[in-house]
């Protein structure tokens, strides 16, 4: 795509900084998000996720740096951005005495919706969030946590926003209720950009196109799951279930890749099948070549072959570990300095 025709990113952030008293919550983060992407915004507690999301939704100002959301410069027109986005704040506080439908009417009017368009958008938002008519007539104070979250998401979707920011949308929800949120995002995939902050990594892994990992107010890494796997896990692990012995299999594997190491072998059942786990510095292409080679060997029966990909949790822990150590070291130094 040429530079002229390339659509503008929905979010553009450059060197964003924010300080709360003595704590530097954001230390100059930069990233951009394209139209229709679902972005996972990850990081340990206190990493600066919620601060970033609040700045992007125009709730709080940044101290310095540039941020544009839907083409609106937040430094110049912070309030204007709220016309283009939907935001579900952390904990999703809602007025308990209102009925769901009353609350959505109130929010729709606050967002400038009137008449038939208001009614249509409320109906669509209720439908997307799986809030049936019976639930919409109930008081918010009597709803379960899952339904309350859905009400918050329905509110965020009322104005057909180009960007929806969800801060911990599935915290405290059971797997079934979390699945409803994922289903909602899948349904709107490509039409709406989602920026999703969550600690539930399996969920982020399942529905996000790209992840941005923050730690101590800095972006430690960003990319697709594959890119992160390549960046943080530099060895490829694969598993073979075969009817053979350890020595001959290792010999066969090493004919393709000399660096391949056998990590583990164990019997699977009484028939003599064994599970072999190998590790190689080379990528998946070489591992696939090993498989093709193994299946051609006449005396070797391969039953299963599997390349094990590291999950997001492993990547998250590795990505944030280095940053934690650096910050912790700084803390120790400063403490030591004080004692001296």
Partner 1 sequence: MTQGYWVILRTEIFSLFISPATYVSTFYFLALLGVGFRFFIESFPATNWILPPLSSLALGLLFGAPALIPFLTMRTIAEERRLGTLETLMTAPVDAVSIIAGKWSASYFFYLLICCGAYSYPLLVCIIFPGQAESLGFLKPEHWIGGFVFLMSFGASFCAIGIFSSSITRNQMVAGMLSFSLITLYLAIMAFSYGEPTKIDEFRSYDDLFAMVGGSLHRGLDKIQFFALGVLHIPTILHQLIVVFFFLSLAKLQVEKIRH
Tokens standing for 324?
Answer: 């934690």
- CB–CB of 251/78 below 8 Å? no
What span, in angstroms and rounded, lies between the C-alpha atoms of 80 and 272? 68
Q: How many CA atoms lie within 13 A of 101 on its CB side?
A: 11
Whose Cβ is closer to partner 1: residue 87's or residue 232's?
A: 87
What span, in angstroms and rounded, lies between the C-alpha atoms of 196 and 41? 6
Taking the complex as a whole, how short is the minimal distance between the CB of residue 82 and partner 1, in angstroms?
A: 4
Q: What is the DSSP letter of 8?
A: P
Taking the complex as a whole, how short is the minimal distance between the CB of residue 89 and partner 1, in angstroms?
A: 6
Taking the complex as a whole, how short is the minimal distance between the CB of residue 212 and partner 1, in angstroms?
A: 21
Whose Cβ is closer to partner 1: residue 40's or residue 161's?
A: 161
Whose Cβ is closer to partner 1: residue 84's or residue 301's?
A: 84
Whose Cβ is closer to partner 1: residue 58's or residue 217's?
A: 58
- The widest CA-to-CA distance across the chain, in whole angstroms, is 76
First vs last Cα of the chain: how many Å apart? 60
Per the listing, tokens 């934690």 go with: 324
Taking the complex as a whole, how short is the minimal distance between the CB of residue 281 and partner 1, in angstroms?
A: 49
Taking the complex as a whole, how short is the minimal distance between the CB of residue 7 and partner 1, in angstroms?
A: 24
Residues that bind partner 1 (CB under 8 A): 57, 59-61, 79-80, 82-83, 87, 89, 91-97, 106-107, 109-112, 152
What sign does the dihedral 79-84-86-90 (CA atoms) show? Answer: negative
What sign does the dihedral 116-120-126-129 (CA atoms) show? Answer: negative
Whose Cβ is closer to partner 1: residue 104's or residue 228's?
A: 104
Whose Cβ is closer to partner 1: residue 131's or residue 219's?
A: 131
Taking the complex as a whole, how short is the minimal distance between the CB of residue 35 and partner 1, in angstroms?
A: 21
Tokens standing for 195?
Answer: 């920026």
């Amino acid at each position: 795509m040429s530079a002229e025709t390339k659509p503008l990113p929905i979010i553009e952030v450059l060197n964003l900084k924010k300080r709360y008293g003595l704590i530097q919550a954001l230390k100059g983060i930069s990233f951009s998000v394209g139209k229709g992407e679902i972005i996972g915004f990850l990081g340990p507690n206190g990493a600066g996720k919620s601060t970033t999301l609040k700045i992007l939704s125009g709730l709080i100002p940044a101290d310095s740096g540039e941020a544009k959301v839907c083409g609106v410069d937040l430094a110049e027109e912070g309030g204007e951005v709220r016309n283009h986005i939907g935001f579900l704040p952390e904990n999703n506080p809602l007025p308990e005495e209102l009925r769901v439908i009353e609350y959505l009417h109130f929010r729709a009017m606050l967002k400038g919706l009137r008449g038939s368009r208001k009614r249509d958008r409320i109906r669509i938002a209720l439908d997307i969030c799986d809030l049936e008519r019976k639930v919409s007539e109930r008081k918010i104070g009597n709803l379960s946590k899952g339904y309350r979250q859905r009400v918050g998401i329905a509110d965020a979707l009322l104005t057909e926003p180009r960007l929806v920011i969800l801060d911990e949308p599935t915290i405290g929800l059971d797997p079934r209720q979390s699945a409803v949120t994922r289903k909602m995002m899948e349904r709107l995939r490509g039409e709406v950009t989602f920026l999703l902050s969550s600690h539930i990594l399996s969920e982020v892994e399942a529905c996000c196109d790209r992840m941005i990992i923050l730690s101590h107010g800095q972006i430690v890494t960003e990319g697709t799951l594959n890119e992160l796997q390549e960046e943080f896990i530099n060895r490829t692990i694969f598993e073979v279930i075969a009817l053979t012995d350890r020595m001959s299999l290792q010999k066969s594997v090493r004919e393709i890749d000399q660096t391949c190491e056998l990590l583990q072998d164990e019997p699977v059942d009484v028939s003599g099948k064994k599970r072999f786990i190998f590790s190689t510095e080379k990528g998946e292409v070489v591992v696939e070549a090993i498989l093709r080679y193994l299946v051609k060997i006449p005396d070797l029966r391969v039953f299963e072959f599997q390349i094990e990909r590291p999950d997001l949790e492993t990547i998250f822990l590795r990505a944030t570990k280095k940053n934690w150590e650096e910050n912790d070291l700084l803390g120790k130094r400063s403490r030591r300095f004080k004692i001296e």
